[in-house]
Amino acid sequence: MSDNKCILVTGGAGYIGSHTVVELVNAGYDPVVIDNCANAVRASENGRPGSIKRIEKIVDKKIIYYDIDLLNKAALDDLFAKHSFIAVIHFAGLKAVGESIEIPIEYYKVNICGTLNLIECMKKYQVSNLVFSSSATVYGTPQYLPIDENHTVGSCTNPYGKSKYFIEEILRDVGKAEKDWNIILLRYFNPVGSHKSGLIGEDPQGTPNNLMPYVAQVAIGRRSQLSIFGGDYDTPDGTGVRDYIHVVDLALGHIAALKKVSTKCGLKVYNLGTGKGYSVLDMVRGMEKASGKKIPYKIVDRRDGDVGSCYAEVTLAQTELGWKSDRNLEEMCEDLWRWQTKNPKGFQTDNSS
Ligand code: WQD
């Protein structure tokens, strides 16, 4: 029985990727990270991403990292020639819904062509186990709630969500053609929070698109007020309801998927969520409790493309992966606040590496 535990993690310096790398090491795997730092911050000019240094501090172990872009096929081929991977966890990609509407070509090029380069290398070097970072966005406007994995997909309107849907369809076709491939598609709901150490977390560049990084920046005084997009949805308090899942629970879901994908499972799809929906105001109150700060807000018009409620049906992952989320709203907010207070300006301030 080979003791090879070498896992390629594309985008492993990003928010979810870095938390997953920590859990991979904790689970006894040997992660190799590639990241072009499109969504990660370098600790110094042309240096390694700040998150890699922090991961090493958490796990007390060197992390192999390469500054490789998935669009650089030659570099990717050299990487596969150098390491014998037993599986790939594929996070790398552009991920801002609003930005994708402005620059669709870039999103399709990076997300889809990058993935095609990756799976071509996997095929050439006979790496046949893949865990793909997909998104609940592929469900589009929920036809029913909670959303299960049989819900229709592909009706999402933004290029980011479409790119995730197109990649899912590409992987389905690859799975049909390559009988020995095992592919797991993980559809995330809303990842929030940070590792307990406060050393790694979500570090959006510029104005945060997502709710919780924005709320945390208001709480710490980097921003003056939260705009709540819509107060007239058909929800308990009129504000949008989402399924917020702690990023460490999400990372552990990847470890469970990795174990499953090495059991000749073929192609499988799983929601990674909590199955609970919380409103924007619930999250504001959660952060006020965790930070002890008042969070000023104003209710403004709805944001284009938003839905009122979206939360997951989560029993399939529990039954087939033996995984469920454990961390509650209070822990999500406490861990996010610890990250925010320890890193008021994110990774940029870390020039120690
Ligand atoms: C959550 C709620 C907003 C910001 C998106 C992507 C999805 C995934 C997660 C990548 C909504 C409200 C937000 C703000 C607000 N990303 N809000 N003021 O839109 O559910 O999902 O991020 O995979 O693919 O679509 O997350 O955090 O942007 O919004 O009122 O400043 O907070 O209206 O109700 P969303 P979000």
Q: Do the beta carbons of residue 278 and residue 320 sit within 8 Å?
A: no
Q: How confident is the model over 39-81, as pLDDT tens digits?
A: 777 776 678 888 999 999 999 999 999 999 999 999 999 999 9
Catalytic residue annotation: 160
Asked if 12 and 23 touch (Cβ cutoff 8 Å), the reply is no
Give SS3 for 227: strand
ipTM value, please give it: 0.97
| AA letter at 84 | S
Tokens of 195: 């590792």
The per-residue pLDDT for 272 is 98
Q: Which residues, in sequence order, are CB contacts of 126 under 8 Å at separation 6+? A: none
What are the pocket residues of ligand 1 if the criterion is a CB atom closer than 6 Å to any ligand atom? 95, 97, 135, 137, 188, 190, 209-211, 214, 227-229, 240, 242, 280, 303, 306
In this prediction, residue 39 carries a pLDDT of 76
User: Under a CB-based contact definition with an 8 Å cutoff, are residues 100 and 19 in contact?
Assistant: no
In ligand 1, which atom is closest to the CA atom of 210? 27
Specify the pLDDT at position 2. Answer: 65
Q: Tell me how far apart the alpha carbons of residues 251 and 272 are, in angstroms, rounded to a whole number.
A: 10
- Rg over alpha carbons for the chain, rounded to the nearest Å, is 19
Determine the distance separating the centroid of ligand 1 and the alpha carbon of 157, expressed in angstroms: 15
Coil, helix or strand at residue 109: helix
How far away, in angstroms, is 229 Cα from ligand 1 center? Answer: 10
Closest CA to 132 of 116, 151, 150: 116
Note the pLDDT of residue 244: 98
Q: What is the phi/psi pair of residue 86, to 5°?
A: -95, -15
Q: Please give the full DSSP string across 40-98, using - where no structure is assigned.
A: S-BSSTT--BHHHHHHHHHHTS--EEE---TT-HHHHHHHHHH---SEEEE--S---HH
pLDDT of residue 349: 53
Residues of the chain with pLDDT under 50: 353
187 alpha carbon – ligand 1 mean position (Å):
15
Q: Which atom of ligand 1 is nearest to the CA of 215?
A: 31
Please tell me the pTM assigned to this model: 0.96
Indicate the helix (H) or strand (E) that contains 296.
none
Task: Write down the H helix ranges in the chain.
Answer: 15-26, 50-59, 73-82, 97-102, 104-108, 114-124, 159-177, 211-219, 247-261, 280-291, 315-321, 329-342
199, 342 Cβ separation under 8 angstroms: yes
Q: Are 353 and 44 in contact (CB under 8 A)?
A: yes
**What is the dotted CATH code of the domain comprising 3-348?**
3.40.50.720
Q: Would you list the domain boundaries of the chain?
A: 3-348
pLDDT reported for residue 28: 98
DSSP bridge partners of 269? 185
Residues in the chain: 353
- If you measure from the C-alpha of residue 333 to the centroid of ligand 1, how many angstroms do you get, rounded to a whole number? 16
Pairing of the two strands 182-188 and 267-272: parallel
Per-residue model confidence as pLDDT tens digits over 122-142: 999 999 999 999 999 999 999
Indicate the top mutation candidate among 94, 95, 97 to test ligand 1's pocket, ranked by most ligand atoms within 8 A of CB.
Answer: 97
